[in-house]
Amino acid sequence: MQSQASPKTPSGKTVPPINVLFLFMEKRAKVKVLLAEEPKSSVSGILTGFDEYMNLVLSEAEQIDHKTGEVRKLGSMLLKGDCVSMISHV
């Protein structure tokens, strides 16, 4: 399995994760969040806020069950940073 490297600038410097989150928020990007305690589902939504603890605020959030494919609309939500396993751009 190939590991993914941290994002880099054109000059090759590593970009801090908090800066990547800021770019997602600025662009009102839809993100997918994998949860540490809930491996059979994920949450996706538009990143509208975050803090230094990686607590995330999502709007238009949906929970996706990976086993059944069922999508449950959640609206706006706060995800605690210690629950977040991975964040990716959708």
Domains of the chain by residue range: 17-89
Q: Any bridge partners for residue 10, and if so which?
A: none
3-state secondary structure of 8: strand
Quick one: fold of 17-89?
SH3 type barrels. (2.30.30)
Cα–Cα dist 50/72, whole Å = 23
Q: What is the mean pLDDT of residues 13-33?
A: 93
Cα–Cα dist 10/14, whole Å = 10
Asked if residues 66 and 79 have their Cβ atoms less than 8 Å apart, the reply is no
Helices of type H across the chain:
17-26
What are 47-60's pLDDT values in tens digits?
A: 999 999 999 999 99
Give the confidence band of 14 by pLDDT, cuts at 50, 70, 90. confident
Q: What is the mean pLDDT of residues 72-80?
A: 97
